[in-house]
Amino acid sequence: MPLRRRCEIHLLLRMKSLTSLCLAVVAMAAGCLLAGCSKSETAAGNAPAKPRVALVMKSLANEFFGTMTAGAKAHQAAHAADYELIANGIKNETDLSEQVALVDQMVAMQVSAIVIAPADSKALVPALKRARQAGIVVINIDNRLDAAAMQEAGLQVPFVGPDNRAGALAVGRVVTARLQKGDAVAIIEGIPTADNGRQRRLGFEEAIKEAGLNLVSVQSGQWEMEKANTVAGSLLNAHPNLKAIFCANDNMALGAVAAIKAAGREGQVLVAGFDNIKAMGPLLASGAVLATADQHGDQLAVFGIEAALEALRLQQTGSDRSTPVDVVAR
């Protein structure tokens, strides 16, 4: 079997080269890691008194949180003398355990403050309680922690963030102003367990009630374009006289717009969004989306960081602050 033997040798050689490639990659990765570590160590060594602020985000894959983090990094670069920033995020919006682990890691690193966008308004409470007990300043941004859960845990964390309900109400009014009393409308909400999603739904509902519209359905699009597209497609079929769809974020509004187009009902069904992501530009210009809310995503984490620095300076826990939300319409 000379042929088979040769094949085997060939395979072996191949495996060897693959293995060495793997080794090289691992070595390079390790090198980068080490370089990164030593750099931050020297930075800490130069200015020992500089507070270290940990930013714990939700999914960095989500454009909105990416923008928030970028804003925070820009702010830190401009105030490099004032504080050090450690930005972290989780890979999946619903991966709670990963975020809890991140908080615990930050506690172990003995950071001065944690600014967190909780993936869940209740599940993060125990981890943040541990952080407070370790003497770390905690500031809550983006998604508000549950008041009852905090009270039960004896935890006090100030919330620095936009009034989602007021924002949704304002966006909702832009749409309802174009409708008649009794018109059928629907809401596509986010993940029902997240407080910001609930607040936006409440804001939309308030606008709908004010205008005397007929809310025919509220369904979850799980914050995602594809899910919202499916839900919107079915809503359009189930309610031939549907006049507007209020979406709790812009990704879902994109999905709804695609469904309206597929149903050939462009111009007949109004869409509202929330967040003002970049992809909204052309849709707002064409009128496919009537209005969205800009909560100044790039500044949201910065507001939280500033509150944390102030709390550190004054040695207090800090207090709630609401940040601006603007309606963006054509």
| Contacting residues toward other proteins, per CB under 8 A | 11, 14-15, 18, 60-63, 66, 192, 217-220, 222, 224-226, 229-231, 233-240, 251, 254-255, 257-259, 261-263, 277-279, 281-283
Q: Rounded to the nearest whole angstrom, what is the least distance from the CB of residue 172 to other proteins in the complex?
A: 20
Smallest distance from other proteins to CB 116, Å: 19
Judged by beta carbon, residue 14 or residue 178, the one nearer other proteins is 14
CB 322 within 8 A of CB 162: yes
Please give the structure tokens belonging to residue 256.
């709804």
SS (H, E, C) 259-294: HHHHCCCCCCCEEECCCCCCCHHHHHHHCCCCEEEE
Helix (H) or strand (E) holding 3: helix 2-46
CB-nearer residue toward other proteins: 12 or 134: 12
Contacts of 262 (CB under 8 A, 6+ apart): 233
Q: Which is nearer to other proteins, 143 or 222 (CB)?
A: 222
Query: Least Å distance between CB 237 and other proteins?
Result: 5
Q: Which is nearer to other proteins, 12 or 109 (CB)?
A: 12
Pick the closer one to other proteins by CB: 156 or 234. Answer: 234
**Minimal distance, residue 94 CB to other proteins, in Å:** 10
Tell the smallest beta-carbon distance from residue 44 to other proteins (Å): 28
69 CB contacts (<8 Å, ≥6 apart)?
Answer: 55, 57, 60, 87, 89, 301
Residue 68 or residue 325: which is nearer to other proteins going by CB? Answer: 68
> Could you tell me the CA-to-CA distances from 60 to 109, 132, 254, 267 in Å, in that order?
21, 25, 20, 34
- The identity of residue 106, as a single letter, is M
H-helix or E-strand spanning residue 42: helix 2-46
> What stretches of the chain adopt beta strand conformation (E)?
52-59, 84-90, 113-116, 137-140, 160-162, 184-189, 214-220, 242-247, 270-272, 291-294, 321-323, 326-329
- CA–CA gap between residue 252 and residue 266 (Å, rounded): 17
Distance of closest approach, residue 330 Cβ to other proteins, in angstroms: 16
Closer residue to other proteins in complex, CB, 64/83: 64
Phi, psi of 319 (to 5 degrees): -135, 165
- Taking the complex as a whole, how short is the minimal distance between the CB of residue 5 and other proteins, in angstroms? 17
